[in-house]
Amino acid sequence: MSKSIKNTKVLVTGAGGFIGGHLVKYLRNKGYQNIRAVDIKPLKNWYQIDSKAENIVLNLNHLDKCKLATKNIDEVYNLASNMGGMGFIESHKAECMLNVLINTNMLMASKEAGVKKYFYSSSACVYSLSKQRSANIDGLKENDAYPAQPEDGYGWEKLFSERMCRHFMEDFKLETRVARFHNVYGPLGEYKGGREKAPAALIRKVIEAKINQKKEIEIWGDGLQSRTFMYIDDCVKGIYLIMNSDIREPINLGTNELVTINQLVSIIENIAGVTLKRTYNINAPKGVRGRSSDNTLIKKYLNWEPEIPLKKGIEKTYKWIEKQITKK
């Protein structure tokens, strides 16, 4: 174990959430012993809890709470955000925009606390809508975020917060790292209630159809919209590698294994051993027509890119969600 890792005091915000919980576990396995985990949710609602971490409930919309969170901290992983799947993002634009308070206050508190490194979790929602009008999309390059035309609400907030990180690095010498996540999925996350992402929602629908012998599934949109999906283990590894790199610009963190929603449903059906009649809700939230990650830059910097095949990740996620549903 590296002495520097052992002695580094790390803060993970959004630690009670899906990605944050997995990141705390990853850092613990890397040898970090001083981890402060912060989330707005009551502890009983955290997806994962590391019993050896300093687990604190704080509302990071407020500067004084951010100062408490960053006290005596060396490195910050800021994953705190009020967000969800496309259904939530399209119907809660103001709430998504208010996330700017979290990152702004966290940057100010980190500067005051003398934090050495600061990671910000951005999103592929920052990319220009004009680049995402075809399902047969080429991978989005980092410079495709400008001229700016991100998704309304959530995308604008993420793009603005990226700029805040850049200027705090330029003006105050706070080393910031920014990753643009592309559709993260996996076990120990939302799979119902309205905030779940497409893979979890579709897995739940297939399992419920199988249990209820309904033989039918509703798909949002026409099923031809395309996406790439990154398994959570690749995500947390990528976060760690980017944080400990010299990458001082926003960078993609996602796969380039492009599939349509119809193809994703077929993968889940094969795992479940069922074939369902598909009905299409054209009026439901469906996001952009196509989105994929161009990984040229991350491979150049890290000689690595997210690599877990979609089928393998979906199988693991399916087993976990099936267990949750059958338990109930």
Catalytic residue numbers, as ranges = 154
Pairing mode of beta strands 34-39, 117-123? unpaired
d(CA 205, CA 191): 10
Query: Cβ neighbours of residue 202 under 8 Å, at least 6 residues apart?
Result: 217, 219, 261, 264, 265, 268
Would the CA dihedral through 263, 196, 162, 37 be positive or negative? negative
d(CA 190, CA 124): 20
Contact 183, 227 (CB under 8 A): yes
Strand stretches in the chain, DSSP E: 9-13, 34-39, 54-57, 75-78, 117-123, 175-181, 184-185, 216-220, 226-227, 230-231, 251-253, 259-260, 277-281
List phi, psi (to 5°) of 251: -140, 145
